[in-house]
């Protein structure tokens, strides 16, 4: 599989930041946790350096290989990435508390250094463990959506939205089977997947996605690609999706018993002129209900002007792990999560069922969404 440039550049930028974060954690632990022997200091430095480069190395290997060693390495590196987030903030707080102790004029402040680092790093460990368990519990969110021009036959019917499963080295066959089992219990009339079904690395896509074949809603299953799908072999993924019964929407509109379903792949939705041209070519019927699957909740003025009733997106994960929820809020505003309105257009952004990178959720919840048309 040919590696694409942007994922590699992004990984190296991430790697640089991770090394700096690991150095800061090393410096904080050594400074606060009493006296260290030269051997212990060297060992800690070596371990943190190895962990610092582990995610970039594992991610690059994951584009080429899917053997047990690469999978294990990726899982360890991704898990450390999550704990690193909390350790970094614990390290920052160590210095904040320490300077607060000094400003307070506490007698013998040195004796407080070890309790400070132990307390804050223990809290970081607890946050990471909680996040791992929270990520395993995929909730079902139920939403009622009223669409103008909705055919009478669609009132009361349900659509299941499953975004961002990120099938790969973390979320594998068992995860896919769990999602399908939950979906079957909901008995949706139609299924929408607005991208990032796959994580983008080399995997046995046909085997891991096989449970999706058991989903057989009356009015079909529809998919539009996300950025991670396109990081990988999109031609292979498309073949796999068609094999399990999905209609892969590539700048096209289809009719599902009077409801118009549209899909734009990520690479076109990422450019305003392409997206406008794609929507114009689909000739969205004015006054009739239509649903657009577009991975990222952006280009909303273009979508509204095209006359689309509802856009279904994913991508943001709601931020996945605190404090990245703040970053996504800055980027996407209120469209980071949930059902929102942009003029005449309604937008539902799902936080997704899976995870990217750290197999953790702190401050967000993984979900499947059952939409009832009212």
Contacts within 8 Å (CB) and 24+ apart, 147-152: 147/289, 147/309, 147/310, 147/346, 147/373, 148/287, 148/289, 148/309, 149/287, 149/288, 149/289, 149/309, 150/259, 150/289, 150/309, 150/373, 151/257, 151/258, 151/259, 151/289
Q: Give the predicted TM-score (pTM) of the model.
A: 0.91
**pLDDT at residue 38 in the model:** 85
Q: Are 341 and 146 in contact (CB under 8 A)?
A: no
Q: Are 315 and 353 in contact (CB under 8 A)?
A: no
pLDDT, tens only, 29-65: 999 987 778 888 889 889 988 988 888 888 888 888 8
Q: Which residues contact 364 (CB under 8 A, 6 or more apart)?
A: 317, 318, 319, 320, 321, 325, 337, 351
**pLDDT at residue 107 in the model:** 77
For 336, the token pair is 């980071």
HSE (side-chain half, CA atoms, 13 Å) at 310: 26
**pLDDT at residue 36 in the model:** 79
**CATH 3.40.109.10 holds for 139-373:** no
pLDDT, averaged in runs of 10, over the chain (374 residues): 60 83 93 83 89 87 89 94 96 95 85 93 97 97 97 97 97 97 98 96 94 97 97 93 97 96 96 95 95 97 97 97 91 96 97 96 97 96
Pairing type for strands 310-313 and 259-263 reads unpaired
Which residues pair with residue 373 across a beta bridge?
A: 145
Hey, where are the domains in the chain? 5-134, 139-373
Q: Are 145 and 372 in contact (CB under 8 A)?
A: yes
């Amino acid at each position: 599989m040919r590696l694409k440039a942007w994922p590699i550049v992004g990984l190296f930028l991430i790697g640089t930041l991770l090394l700096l974060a690991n150095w800061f954690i090393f410096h904080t632990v050594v400074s606060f946790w009493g006296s260290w022997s030269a051997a212990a200091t060297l060992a800690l430095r070596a371990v943190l350096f190895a962990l610092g480069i582990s995610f970039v190395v594992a991610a690059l290997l994951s584009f080429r290989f899917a053997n047990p060693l690469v999978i294990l390495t990726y899982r360890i590196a991704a898990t450390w990435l999550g704990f690193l987030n909390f350790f970094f903030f614990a390290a920052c707080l160590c210095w904040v508390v320490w300077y607060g102790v000094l400003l307070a004029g506490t007698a013998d402040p040195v004796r407080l250094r070890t309790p400070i680092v132990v307390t804050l790093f223990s809290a970081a460990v607890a946050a990471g463990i909680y996040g791992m368990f929270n990520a395993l519990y995929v909730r079902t969110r139920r939403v009622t959506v009223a669409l103008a021009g909705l055919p009478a036959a669609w009132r009361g019917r349900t659509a299941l939205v499953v975004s961002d499963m990120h099938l790969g080295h973390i979320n594998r066959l068992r995860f896919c089977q769990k999602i399908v089992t939950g979906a079957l219990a909901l008995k949706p009339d139609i299924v929408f997947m607005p991208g990032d079904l796959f994580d983008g690395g080399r995997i046995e896509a046909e085997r891991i996605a096989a449970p999706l074949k058991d989903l057989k809603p009356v009015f079909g299953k529809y998919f539009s690609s996300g950025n991670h799908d396109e990081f990988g072999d999109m031609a292979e993924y498309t073949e796999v999706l068609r094999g399990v019964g999905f209609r892969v929407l590539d700048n096209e509109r289809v009719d599902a018993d009077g409801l118009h379903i549209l899909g734009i792949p990520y690479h076109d939705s990422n450019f305003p002129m392409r997206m406008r041209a794609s929507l114009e070519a689909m000739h969205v019927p004015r006054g009739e209900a239509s649903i657009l699957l577009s991975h990222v909740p952006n280009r909303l003025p273009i979508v509204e002007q095209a006359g689309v009733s509802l856009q279904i997106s994913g991508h943001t994960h709601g931020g996945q792990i605190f404090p990245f929820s703040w970053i996504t809020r800055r980027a996407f505003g209120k469209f980071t999560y949930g059902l929102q309105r942009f003029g005449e257009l309604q937008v539902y952004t799902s936080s997704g069922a899976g995870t990217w990178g750290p197999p953790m959720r702190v401050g967000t919840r993984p979900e499947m969404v059952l939409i009832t048309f009212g």
